[in-house]
């Protein structure tokens, strides 16, 4: 009998994952990861109690691992430091790579488990080769619940050792399975918010953590000359030079706009943000376009279609690229345009794009301009429905 460790969060998804695996004949062990860093926002006691009750219903062993200190060092401090540098990191992606799957792997060795499992909506497939096997991840059949985006930094070994029982199900089916088994959390609402931090608005956490530093807010006119010289279309003849120009980041300066107010620190804002600017009296809502950390200036624009919010081409350094399958890495090395699909946010529909490889990285050219892509975020790459890699935009 194969042994599998299941990460039980207290939610219905991970509980049904454990139930399915047990029904298939696996020896299941439940583990809850306890984090009390922001205890008031986490409700870990309720979650762990629910996970314990589910384990009792399923008749499986249950353990609680306290990851508070580890989480603070690896995720929380990293996230705060990146905001201080003007970036907008994704704690959920890092948490999956560095904590959930990493700790479960270590625990599986101690408990002599063959696999680990979570309640993520994603499909895993084993592709048999002549000399070895490749393990691939595909989007879930339920595209609304697909969570492949958050697993974009896993390596081959982590994928090989992981099982994802929910990949072929939709949420309604998962609820039905839970109700049929009379699980205590069958009707429990889905959790939302940052990994292990719950629903707490992260901007409020930042304001308490980061020292206030009053600075100016500059309104940029959408008709500004800095947008007029951008190339909209390009030919393959001079593709690298033109791609480089398109990928270059706009350098905002106070002379390009007018001062309209003050802020309490640019680190608390992210590109595309609307709430929190706290200035009224304009024809259209204000959105953050960019930040100047050195001079503590916040640049904003009116309206959700402001040209400063959109960009089509991004350059990614080689060191910031992760491939789940080395075959795609080799294909890109051929330096030919390679058509893919990609997205910059978890719930976004897959967007058509083309990769162009050069010696020190790749250019990602989207067919349609992408809104409010921010340094520190990930562009996740797909070939058809297969998750093939990710790019950290820096």
Instruction: Return the percent helix, strand and coil in the chain, to nearest 5.
Output: 35, 30, 40
Radius of gyration of the chain (CA): 23
Q: At what angle do helices 12-23 and 44-58 cross, to 10 degrees?
A: 20
- Find the catalytic residue in 42, 95, 357, 391: 95
Q: Both tokens of residue 154?
A: 């896993």
391 is catalytic: no
The span from the CA of 344 to the CA of 355, in Å, is: 15
Three-class DSSP category at 63: strand
How far apart (Å, rounded) are the C-alpha atoms in residues 230 and 114?
53
Reduced to 3 states (helix: H, G, I; strand: E, B; else coil), residue 171 is helix
Angle of the 12-23 helix axis to the 171-180 helix axis, nearest 10: 70
Which residues share a beta bridge with 316?
362
Mark whether 195 is an active-site residue.
Answer: yes
Active-site pick, 42, 152, 153, 195: 195
47 touches 34 (CB < 8 A)? no
Instruction: Give which of 74, 86, 143 is closest to 377, Cα–Cα.
Output: 86
59 C-beta neighbours (distance < 10 Å), count: 8
130 near 298, Cβ under 8 Å?
Answer: no
List residues with catalytic annotation.
Answer: 95, 195
């Amino acid at each position: 009998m194969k042994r599998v460790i299941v990460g039980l969060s207290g939610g219905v998804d991970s509980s049904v994952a454990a139930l399915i695996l047990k029904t298939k004949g696996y020896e299941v062990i439940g583990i809850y990861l306890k984090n009390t860093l922001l205890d008031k926002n986490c409700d870990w006691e309720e979650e762990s109690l629910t996970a314990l009750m589910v384990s009792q219903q399923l008749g499986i062993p249950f353990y609680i691992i306290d990851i508070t200190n580890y989480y603070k060092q690896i995720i929380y401090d990293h996230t705060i430091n990146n905001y201080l540098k003007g970036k907008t990191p994704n704690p959920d992606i890092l948490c999956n790579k560095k904590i959930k799957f990493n700790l479960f792997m270590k625990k599986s060795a101690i408990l002599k488990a063959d696999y680990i499992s979570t309640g993520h909506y994603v499909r895993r497939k084993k592709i048999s080769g002549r000399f070895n096997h490749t393990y691939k991840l595909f989007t879930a059949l339920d595209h609304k619940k697909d969570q492949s985006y958050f697993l974009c930094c896993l390596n081959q070994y982590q994928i090989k050792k992981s099982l994802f029982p929910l990949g072929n199900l939709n949420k309604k089916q998962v609820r039905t399975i839970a109700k049929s088994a009379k699980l205590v959390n069958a009707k429990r609402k889905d959790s939302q918010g940052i990994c292990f931090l719950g629903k707490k608005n992260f901007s409020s956490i930042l304001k308490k953590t980061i020292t206030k530093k009053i600075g100016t807010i500059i309104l940029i006119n959408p008709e500004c000359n800095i947008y007029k010289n951008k190339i909209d279309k390009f030919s393959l003849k001079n593709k690298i030079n033109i791609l480089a120009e398109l990928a270059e980041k706009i350098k905002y300066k106070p002379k390009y706009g007018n001062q309209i107010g003050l802020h309490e620190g640019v680190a608390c804002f992210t590109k595309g943000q609307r709430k929190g600017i706290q200035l009224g009296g304009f024809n259209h809502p204000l959105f953050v376009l960019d930040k100047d950390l050195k001079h503590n200036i916040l640049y904003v624009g009116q309206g959700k279609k402001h040209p400063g919010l959109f960009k089509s081409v991004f350059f990614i350094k080689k060191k910031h690229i992760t491939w789940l399958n080395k075959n795609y890495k080799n294909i890109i090395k051929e330096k030919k345009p390679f058509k893919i699909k990609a997205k910059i946010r978890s719930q976004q529909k897959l967007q058509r794009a083309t990769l162009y490889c050069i010696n020190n990285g790749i250019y990602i050219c989207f067919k349609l301009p992408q809104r409010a892509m921010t340094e520190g975020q990930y562009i996740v790459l797909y070939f058809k429905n297969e998750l093939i890699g990710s790019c950290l935009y820096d």
